[in-house]
Structure 1
Amino acid sequence: MKKNPVYLLLLLISLVLLFNPVISFAAQESANLINGLSYEVLYPENQKNKNLGYFDLKMESGQEQIVALKLYNSLSKELTIQIQLNTAKTNSIGKVEYGPNNLEKDSSLTNDFINIVKAPEKVVIPPNSSKKVEVSISLPKTAPAGLIAGGIQLKPVNEHKMDNKSKKDTVINEFAFLVGVLLRVGDTTKIQPELKLNKTYIAFKDGKSHLFANISNSRPVYTEGMSIMVQVRKANKQKNLFEYRKDNMRMAPNSVIDLPIELADKGLTAGKYTAQITIKSNKDARWSFTEDFTINTLEANSLITTRVEKKSVGRPLLGLLFFFLCLSLLIFFVMYKRIRHKKI
């Protein structure tokens, strides 16, 4: 009773491929070095915690201060660093963005980070050397108590020139460091977030119709541990047609979130609807809003088209899965017969 190891190996591979499809991906390992650049935060005396890795400064209205970063170049050639300052904002999935973005600012933002904090736009570091970069902070005398948040992006400049064709055919991965800056003006311990619903509207995102809930945090403090529940019903009706929930969200001070809710699989038709929006924070704060919106004929037709496309895409995938299942079973059967014949 001698087993053929080749057949057994093929059998094992076919079963592994059937139940564990191969997934390939590229991962960027975390490191403290980007294109020869590293940095050190030089904490001032008013730093709240010197183990954070970013600036968290206790300040007062009208205060002016200079803080610094130390940039290191490990290359044997000079390194040019582009510096960009960004105001903290909230993206559509409820995460705070400290880097460059095109997100909306809230109208309640009177003390914008990029107007208060200044830094050089570029710095050149000599080969195998370091350079201290000063960042100036100037708070208005009328600045109220609250948090002012932003980020400092440090990006090595890629000086390699390419023609237009090369740019088309080449994918360039650009990485940068992002150093957070949080200014605590006055006593911020008693400030509570205040959320308001600006509007709800229908718009396309990634080629699909979405209901957007545009919500502001109008106070200079983070809204932590947010959960949002959206219930949609026909106007003047009580029965909910669908519910949408998202947890573990966070909003930056004086920022806006434009929350998208996909409508493609909700079975909605043209007509008037009501959205009931309930928001909670981890400090037991609660907000509730009711807003009407309308789906017009064009938007309703796009929802029908999207549903049909989803079904059309789903059928081939099921067919392909069935084909591979049958193929794997056939391979298994043939190998089994051969192995059994060898045993005999």
Structure 2
Amino acid sequence: MPSDGFRGLVYGDWHFLEETTSKSKDSHVSSNYAYSMGIALRGAHYKVYPELKYDSVKPMLFQKHAAMSINLRNTQPMMLQNVQMKAVITKQGVFSQKRIFSVNNSKIAPNSIVTLPVQWQFDELKPGKYKVQVQVKGENDWNKLPMTWKFIKNIKVDKKAADNINDKIMRKPINKWFYISMATGGLMLISLVELLKLLLTGSK
């Protein structure tokens, strides 16, 4: 517990782990039991409103795919409940590309940073200018007041940053059976044409 008074909400959890000391003679496998307990401490001045601020947008590697991390910061000691977040990143230029990330029924903890990973799937991250649009809707934890934030930013990804991500991404698996079936179908078609030629020649 804090020794001094505090405002707002302190939120976290205790993580408990029970370690087993005995093992079966017939097995080298052992297991531990663990659980987490959420903790919420309310300050003397509890009626505080959360406030989201734009922090940054950076290229990142997410689940072995190229992505952009949109980082937002809750600067106040109050939780945001029932959060709906939607992020749209559009590559500017002639061949514009749009990537979308959305999540519902989430939470944003007090005094925290939340990251929205906008993934490129198996595509490479292209250098250039991007437009970032984010909308966040939620409810203040203490009075259920609906709150909304919108952020629009323009960023630039240089070639060095894009290449650094693209060198580490997972490549799209090649379907070898597709090419085998195409080759087999082509051979069968050629054989059918030759057979028809022989039949037509023999009938004359």
> TM class, shorter-chain normalised?
0.5 to 0.7
- After superposition, residues 1-344 of structure 1 pair within 5 angstroms as 137-141=1-5, 143=6, 145-160=7-22, 172-188=30-46, 190-235=47-92, 241-265=98-122, 268-282=125-139, 283-297=145-159, 299=162, 303=166, 309-312=171-174, 315=175
Say if 1:264 and 1:304, in contact at 8 Å, map to a contact too.
no
Deviation at 1:284, TM superposition (A): 2.7
Give the distance between the partners of 2:30 and 2:65, measured in 1 at CA. Answer: 29
Residue identity in the other structure for 2:149: W
Say if 1:272 and 1:292, in contact at 8 Å, map to a contact too.
yes
Give the distance between the partners of 1:199 and 1:317, measured in 2 at CA. Answer: 44
Give the distance between the partners of 2:122 and 2:64, measured in 1 at CA. Answer: 14
Give the distance between the partners of 1:222 and 1:184, measured in 2 at CA. Answer: 11
More strand by share: 2
Residue identity in the other structure for 1:218: T
Per the alignment, in what secondary structure is the counterpart of residue 151 of structure 2? Answer: strand
Say if 2:19 and 2:33, in contact at 8 Å, map to a contact too.
no
Deviations 1:107-138 (A, max 9, x none): xxxxxxxxxxxxxxxxxxxxxxxxxxxxxx34
The runs of 5 or more residues in structure 2 that have no matched partner are 140-144, 180-204
Identical-residue share of aligned pairs (%): 21
The runs of 5 or more residues in structure 1 that have no matched partner are 1-136, 162-168, 320-344
Say if 1:151 and 1:179, in contact at 8 Å, map to a contact too.
yes
TM-score, length-scaled by structure 1? 0.42
Deviation at 1:270, TM superposition (A): 1.9
Residue identity in the other structure for 1:183: L
Deviations 1:259-289 (A, max 9, x none): 2221234675221212111111144311111
Corresponding position of 1:134: none
Say if 2:87 and 2:116, in contact at 8 Å, map to a contact too.
no
- Runs of 4+ with deviation above 6 angstroms: none
TM-score, length-scaled by structure 2? 0.67
Give the distance between the partners of 1:305 and 1:179, measured in 2 at CA. Answer: 37
Give the distance between the partners of 1:211 and 1:170, measured in 2 at CA. Answer: 43
The alignment of Structure 1 onto Structure 2 pairs a total of residues equal to 169
